[in-house]
């Protein structure tokens, strides 16, 4: 299967990116498609939210992510699968993402898999263009990837804690949104603000 965008990570930042991309695709009336690969290991699953702006007071992480998935699927541009990614390679500007079961191809790849353990095997062509650095906001063994406006190189993107933002719901979500907006700007050759309107319908 080939996708316009593939997102590795179905946590707060990955789902926020997918929702924003879907909104942009809807606005531009495209037939682009998105795949989110989620291994169900997001740190959000262990959280309970009281200080997250605009979020139901006391909602637990699993409920919150389920709501975000429902919101995403209303756009009809995305699908979500639950599995582990094992390898990523690059062939003529197409990313090949290998899971335990099969491989997927995509034009744009977003890494939103968190900062604790990045154990996906990367091909040499990708590895030489990624600079891993220590995560600034923890004295534990955490890493993040250097980027400019969420872009690592070419059509490889990063968001969430793996991009170095502070570990909070609002910052992780904002990072996914910002990543999606920069990616859409590259696709459309212009930057666009995606504001909801009263006449929007689904």
**Domain regions of the chain by residue span:** 2-188
Strands (E), the chain: 2-8, 34-38, 48-49, 59-60, 78-82, 85-91, 94-99, 103-111, 121-122, 132-134, 143-145, 151-153, 156-158
Given pLDDT bands bounded at 50, 70 and 90, which one contains residue 101?
A: very high
What are the tokens at 43? 């740190």
User: Considering the entire predicted model, what is its pTM?
Assistant: 0.95
| pLDDT value at residue 201 | 82
pLDDT tens figures, 105-152: 999 999 999 877 688 999 999 999 999 988 888 777 788 999 999 999
User: Would you place residue 179 in the very low, low, confident or very high pLDDT band (cuts 50, 70, 90)?
Assistant: very high
The pLDDT value given to residue 196: 86
Q: How confident is the model at residue 193 (pLDDT cuts 50, 70, 90)?
A: confident
Q: And the tokens for 79?
A: 């699908």
169 has a pLDDT exceeding 90:
yes
Mean pLDDT in residue range 150-173: 96
Quote the tokens at residue 178.
């910002």
- Residue 201: CB atoms within 10 Å: 5
Q: Return d(Cα 178, Cα 121) in angstroms, integer.
A: 26
CA 184 to mean position of chain CA atoms: 13
Determine the pLDDT at residue 149: 97
Q: In sequence order, what are the residues at sequence separation of 6 or more whose Cβ sits closer than 8 angstroms to the Cβ of residue 148?
A: none
Q: How far is CA 86 from CA 121, 123, 138, 194, in A?
A: 6, 11, 26, 34
The answer to whether the beta carbons of residues 77 and 21 sit under 8 Å apart is yes
Whether 71 has a pLDDT exceeding 90, the answer reads yes
* pLDDT > 90? residue 64: yes
- Residue 197: pLDDT band (50, 70, 90) is confident
Of the candidate CATH numbers 3.90.1170.50, 1.10.10.10, 3.40.50.2000, 3.50.50.60, the domain formed by 2-188 belongs to 3.50.50.60
Query: Quick one: tokens of 27?
Result: 């606005």
Does position 25 have pLDDT exceeding 90, yes or no?
A: yes
């Amino acid at each position: 299967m080939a996708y316009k965008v593939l997102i590795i990570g179905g946590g707060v930042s990955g789902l926020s990116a997918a929702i924003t991309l879907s909104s942009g695709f809807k606005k531009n009336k495209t037939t682009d498609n998105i795949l989110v690969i989620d291994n169900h290991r997001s740190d959000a699953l262990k959280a309970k939210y009281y200080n997250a702006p605009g979020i139901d007071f006391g909602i637990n992480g699993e409920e919150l992510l389920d709501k975000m998935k429902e919101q995403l699927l209303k756009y009809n541009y995305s699908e979500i699968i639950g599995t582990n990614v094992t390898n990523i390679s690059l062939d003529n500007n197409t990313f090949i993402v290998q899971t335990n079961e099969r491989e997927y191809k995509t034009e744009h790849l977003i890494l939103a898999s968190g900062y604790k353990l990045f154990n996906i095997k990367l091909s040499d062509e990708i590895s030489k263009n990624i600079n891993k650095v220590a995560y600034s906001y923890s004295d534990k063994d955490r890493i993040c990837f250097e980027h400019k406006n969420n872009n690592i190189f070419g059509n490889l993107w990063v968001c969430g804690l793996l991009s170095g933002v502070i570990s909070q719901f609002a910052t992780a979500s904002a990072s996914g949104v910002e990543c999606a907006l920069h990616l859409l700007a590259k696709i459309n050759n212009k930057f666009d603000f995606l504001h909801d309107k009263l006449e929007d319908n689904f």
